[in-house]
């Protein structure tokens, strides 16, 4: 059987050693023959790629190549993993600080911060997907690039490549809940529903049996001890286990106050962590993924990616939680909208599994955020100020038209180099 070519766009990410470690361990039945790390930043590529090469030199069965040439990386690929950050940390920090001036949480994927990030990222991801149509039309695009749900929505609406959006949150929740149940994560299945970074677990099975009540009681007990991100009364009100990103909705004002008091944003912290990681990676005696990579938030991302690739390649008919076109799985949302739900994975890709309707008390939030996401994709494609304003106005965290206008002016200006679609005259 022909070995696989896996291309990683944004291969200079500090997360890459986690992916390389996963690829080296042969557990996943992945006959990778060639792995190409591509990045536009040659220095990062050399440092991260250097560590990746040292890791691969003992025991990897694949050839590892580094390149700054995207087309070379994509040519003939079977799987493309996208994990890039348009504008780097500087742009993230602006995404996190601008909304604070308008009384809205500053977060890189949720709310107006995620909006700016989406507008910068969608055109670049579509360029990559267009290259894929030409250079590897049968390949799957596994997208981690944030905001992953919106970016995947844009890809599936405007390009023919087989794109799948992935996030580490579902895998993280599975591990967390398995820990509560003292179960093997591989034996735990979640009835998981919503959008990327806007999701709830409403059912749990462990080793084939219903384990939701036990998992839910464990969550409530932890909440009572102050060991969970949400209060026991919120959990009891929801009767579901919310994912971490719902804090930005359910605890909006508290988080906003915390962020305003904080000496620095998460992006500023991450910039420091990344600097430390890169100096570790540059040490020629290091040949393994350092423990301190755990200080970044994306734990389990490589497990999610490689298990998904293996399920497709080996036609496993397994269930994975992915960002996929709804196609009627969630009756409360449009068929063409991208949702984050369990899907059956086989050699043809991902097929969302039919889901029960959303509980009434979260339906409005999910629908409103989906409308915002659709408008965001439209704004990114058209470079139309009016559509951008409509997107912000539709977002449940934006309190007024005045704030929407102020936000748009600031976001547009802060992202000027990355938003040519809004600055070219008609
Ligand atoms: C979570 C999210 C990812 C995000 C990461 C941020 O795991 O699911 O989408 O990229 O956190 O972590 P960071 O270390 O960059 O704050």
Q: How confident is the model at residue 58 (pLDDT cuts 50, 70, 90)?
A: confident
Q: Is 167 in the pocket of ligand 1 (CB under 6 A)?
A: yes
Tokens found for residue 293: 């990579």
pLDDT digits (tens, 9 = 90+) for 307-330: 999 999 999 999 999 999 999 999
For residue 402, the CA-to-ligand 1 centroid distance in Å is: 30
* pLDDT at residue number 213: 98
DSSP element (H, E) containing 374: helix 360-382
User: Of 18, 74, 4, 14, whose CA–CA distance to 272 is shortest?
Assistant: 14
Q: Is 171 in the pocket of ligand 1 (CB under 6 A)?
A: no
Q: Can you tell me the distance from the alpha carbon of 107 to that of 403, in angstroms, rounded to the nearest whole number? A: 16
Output DSSP code: residue 358: P
Q: Is the omega angle on the peptide bond into residue 147 within 30 degrees of 0, that is, cis? A: yes
* pLDDT at residue number 28: 73
pLDDT digits (tens, 9 = 90+) for 65-105: 999 999 999 999 999 999 999 999 999 999 999 999 999 99
For residue 197, the CA-to-ligand 1 centroid distance in Å is: 10
pLDDT digits (tens, 9 = 90+) for 240-273: 999 999 999 999 999 999 999 999 999 999 999 9
Q: Is 390 in the pocket of ligand 1 (CB under 6 A)?
A: no
For residue 208, the CA-to-ligand 1 centroid distance in Å is: 31
Q: Is 113 in the pocket of ligand 1 (CB under 6 A)?
A: no
- Position 2 pLDDT exceeds 80: no
Which ligand 1 atom lies nearest to the CA of residue 266? 16
Bridge partners, 198 (sequence order): 195
Tokens found for residue 48: 């991260």
For residue 425, the CA-to-ligand 1 centroid distance in Å is: 36
Output DSSP code: residue 108: S
Q: Is 297 in the pocket of ligand 1 (CB under 6 A)?
A: yes
Residues with Cβ within 8 Å of residue 181, at least 6 apart in sequence: 188, 204, 206, 211, 214, 215, 218
Q: Angle at Cα 146 formed by Cα 23 and Cα 359, nearest 5°?
A: 105
Q: Is 150 in the pocket of ligand 1 (CB under 6 A)?
A: no
Q: Can you tell me the distance from the alpha carbon of 9 to that of 3, in angstroms, rounded to the nearest whole number? A: 19
Output DSSP code: residue 230: S
Q: Is the omega angle on the peptide bond into residue 370 within 30 degrees of 0, that is, cis? A: no
* pLDDT at residue number 29: 85
Q: Is 270 in the pocket of ligand 1 (CB under 6 A)?
A: yes
For residue 308, the CA-to-ligand 1 centroid distance in Å is: 19
What is the DSSP secondary-structure string of 151-185?
Answer: HHHHHHHH--SEEEE--HHHHHHHHHHHHHHT--G
Output DSSP code: residue 419: -
**What are the φ/ψ torsions at residue 85 (nearest 5 degrees)?**
-135, 100
Nearest residue by C-alpha to atom 12 in ligand 1: 297
Which residue out of 15, 192, 244, 245 is catalytically annotated?
245
Burial of 3 (0-12, 13-18, 19+ CB in 10 A): middle
Which ligand 1 atom lies nearest to the CA of residue 169? 8
Please choose from 107, 298, 322, 323 the residue to mutate so as to test ligand 1's pocket, defined by most ligand atoms within 8 A of CB.
298
* pLDDT at residue number 426: 60
For the chain, report the end-to-end CA distance as a whole number of angstroms: 52
Instruction: Give the dihedral of Cα atoms 211, 215, 218, 220; nearest 10 deg.
Output: -120
Q: How many C-beta atoms lie closer than 10 Å to residue 164's C-beta?
A: 26
Which ligand 1 atom lies nearest to the CA of residue 144? 9
- Position 287 pLDDT exceeds 70: yes
Nearest residue by C-alpha to atom 11 in ligand 1: 297
Instruction: Give the dihedral of Cα atoms 395, 396, 400, 403; nearest 10 deg.
Output: -50
User: Cβ distance 117 to 109 under 8 Å?
Assistant: yes
For strands 140-143 and 162-165, give the pairing.
parallel
Q: Can you tell me the distance from the alpha carbon of 84 to that of 113, in angstroms, rounded to the nearest whole number? A: 16
Q: Can you tell me the distance from the alpha carbon of 138 to that of 233, in angstroms, rounded to the nearest whole number? A: 48
For residue 20, the CA-to-ligand 1 centroid distance in Å is: 19
Instruction: Quote the percentage of the chain above a pLDDT of 90.
Output: 96
User: Of 78, 75, 66, whose CA–CA distance to 38 is shortest?
Assistant: 66
Domain boundaries, given as residue ranges, for the chain: 4-165, 372-422
User: Of 394, 401, 37, 340, whose CA–CA distance to 167 is shortest?
Assistant: 340
* pLDDT at residue number 424: 82
Q: Is 149 in the pocket of ligand 1 (CB under 6 A)?
A: no
- Position 363 pLDDT exceeds 70: yes
Q: Is 298 in the pocket of ligand 1 (CB under 6 A)?
A: yes
Q: Is 271 in the pocket of ligand 1 (CB under 6 A)?
A: no
Dihedral sign of CA atoms 166, 169, 171, 172 in order: positive
Tokens found for residue 350: 């991902």
For residue 172, the CA-to-ligand 1 centroid distance in Å is: 11
* pLDDT at residue number 425: 67
Nearest residue by C-alpha to atom 16 in ligand 1: 297
CATH superfamily to which 4-165 belongs: NAD(P)-binding Rossmann-like Domain (3.40.50.720)
DSSP element (H, E) containing 135: helix 112-135
Report the pLDDT averaged over residues 18-35. Answer: 89
Q: Is 418 a catalytic residue?
A: no
């Amino acid at each position: 059987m022909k070995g696989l070519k896996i291309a990683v766009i944004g291969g200079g990410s500090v997360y890459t050693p986690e992916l390389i470690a996963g690829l080296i361990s042969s557990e996943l039945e992945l006959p990778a023959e060639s792995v190409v790390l591509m990045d536009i930043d040659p220095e990062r590529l050399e440092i991260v790629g250097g560590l990746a090469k040292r890791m691969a030199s003992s025991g990897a069965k694949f050839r590892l190549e580094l390149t700054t040439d995207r087309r070379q990386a994509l040519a003939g690929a079977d799987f493309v993993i996208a994990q890039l950050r348009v504008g780097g940390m500087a742009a993230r920090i602006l995404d996190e600080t601008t909304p604070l001036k308008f009384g809205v949480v500053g977060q890189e994927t949720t709310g107006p911060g995620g909006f700016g990030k989406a507008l910068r990222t969608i055109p670049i991801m579509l360029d990559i997907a267009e290259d894929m149509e030409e250079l590897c039309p049968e390949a799957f695009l596994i997208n981690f690039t944030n905001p992953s749900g919106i970016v995947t929505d844009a890809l599936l609406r405007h390009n023919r490549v087989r794109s799948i959006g992935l996030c580490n949150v579902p895998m993280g929740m599975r591990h967390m809940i398995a820990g509560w149940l003292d179960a093997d994560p591989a034996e735990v299945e979640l009835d998981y529903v919503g959008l990327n970074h806007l999701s709830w677990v409403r059912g749990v099975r462990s080793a084939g049996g219903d384990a939701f009540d036990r998992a839910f009681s464990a969550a409530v007990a932890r909440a009572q001890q102050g060991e969970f991100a949400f209060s026991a009364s919120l959990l009891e009100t929801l009767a579901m286990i919310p994912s971490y990103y719902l804090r930005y909705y359910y605890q909006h004002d508290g988080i906003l106050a915390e962020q305003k008091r904080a000496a620095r944003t998460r992006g500023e912290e991450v910039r420091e962590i990344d600097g430390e990681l890169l100096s570790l990676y540059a040490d020629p005696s290091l040949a393994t993924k350092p423990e301190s990579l755990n200080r970044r938030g994306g734990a389990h991302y490589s497990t999610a990616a490689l298990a998904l690739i293996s399920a497709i390649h080996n036609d496993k008919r397994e269930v994975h939680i992915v960002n996929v076109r709804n196609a009627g799985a969630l009756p409360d949302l449009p068929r063409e909208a991208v949702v984050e739900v369990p899907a059956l994975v086989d050699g043809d890709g991902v097929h969302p599994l039919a889901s029960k309707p959303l509980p009434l008390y979260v339906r409005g939030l999910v629908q409103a955020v989906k409308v915002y996401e659709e408008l965001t994709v439209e704004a990114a494609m058209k470079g139309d100020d009016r559509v951008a304003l409509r997107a912000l106005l539709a977002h449940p965290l934006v309190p007024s038209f005045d704030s929407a206008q102020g936000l748009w002016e600031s976001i547009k200006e802060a992202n000027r180099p990355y938003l040519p679609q809004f600055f070219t005259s008609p």
